[in-house]
Amino acid sequence: MSYAQKKEISGNRTLAIILVAVIQLGLGYAIVTGLAYNVIKKAAQDLKTFDVEEQPPPPEEPPPPPKDMPKVPPPPTQPPPLVRMEAPPPPIQTVTAPTPPPIPQLAPAPPPPPPPPHKVQSAQSAKGDLRTLFGPDDYPASAQAAGAEGTSQATITIGPDGRVAGCNIIRSSGNNALDAATCNIIRRRAKYTPARDNNGNAVSDTITTPPITWRLEG
């Protein structure tokens, strides 16, 4: 056999080995790929249907029984101390009374006048009966116009000089004009002898006049 033939046979063998290796690799790859796919698919199915059961925890061991301990009585229970709450004292209300107005100081009353001396002689009319002092011309015009009539009587005060110092009507005629005319005429016209005390001194006196009657003529 020539060298060229040996070389050609050697080359064919090498090519055949390469082809066989390639074919084996392809077959191996296909087998591996298919098997892997089936394994993965089966694993996915197993994952879908696989129930995971949780294992319960192991039971706890009971604690060992305590050793014999001496029985100690519980401490006596004392009630809490009572706390007395003192109520606050009621508020003191101060009532302020209104201040009374000041009392005016009254002036001391004057001493009473000394009693009048005891008179031994009363005043006497120097002109006799007082009724003689009145005349028709003394009739008040208003009383005449009204046709008024009546009787007046008065008490009069006579001073130490014998003059009439005061006149007060104690019996009214029923007409003011007639009563006023009675006192006016007595004051103007009456004249008295004054009263005398036990020493003979002239003193004031009060007397009552006789009734003075006013009557229209005709």
Q: Is residue 75 part of a domain?
A: no
AA letter at 147? G
**In this structure, is residue 129 part of a structural domain?**
yes
- Residue 156 backbone dihedrals phi, psi, to 5 degrees: -125, 150
For residue 50, the model assigns a pLDDT of 45
Does residue 89 belong to any structural domain of this protein?
no
Q: Which residues are within 8 A (CB) of 195 and not within 5 positions of it... i.e. 6 or more apart?
A: 119, 121, 122, 123, 158, 202, 203, 204, 205
- In a domain, residue 74? The reply is no
Taking the CA atoms of 167, 168, 171 and 173 in sequence, report the sign of the dihedral they define.
Answer: positive
Residue 168 lies in a domain: yes
Query: What pairs with residue 174 in β-bridges?
Result: none
Residue 180 lies in a domain: yes
Q: Alpha-carbon distance 37 to 205, whole Å?
A: 170
Kindly list the averaged pLDDT for each block of 10 residues, start to end, along the chain of length 218: 53 75 72 56 52 62 65 67 68 67 73 70 78 92 93 94 93 95 94 88 91 89
60-71 per-position pLDDT tens digit = 776 666 666 666
- The pLDDT score that the predictor gives to residue 179 is 96
Do the domain assignments include residue 103? no
The backbone torsions φ and ψ at residue 114, rounded to the nearest 5 degrees and listed phi first, read -65, 145
pLDDT at 114: 72
Structural domain harbouring 126: 121-214
176 class by beta-carbon count within 10 Å (0-12 exposed, 13-18 middle, 19+ buried): middle
> For position 108, what pLDDT does the model report?
77
Nearest to 156 by CA among 127, 182, 177: 182
The answer to whether the beta carbons of residues 143 and 214 sit under 8 Å apart is yes
Please choose, from the candidates 166, 216, 217, 171, the residue with its C-alpha nearest in 3D space to the C-alpha of residue 190.
166
Calculate what percentage of the chain has a pLDDT beyond 90. Answer: 32
Per the structure, the count of domains in the chain is: 2
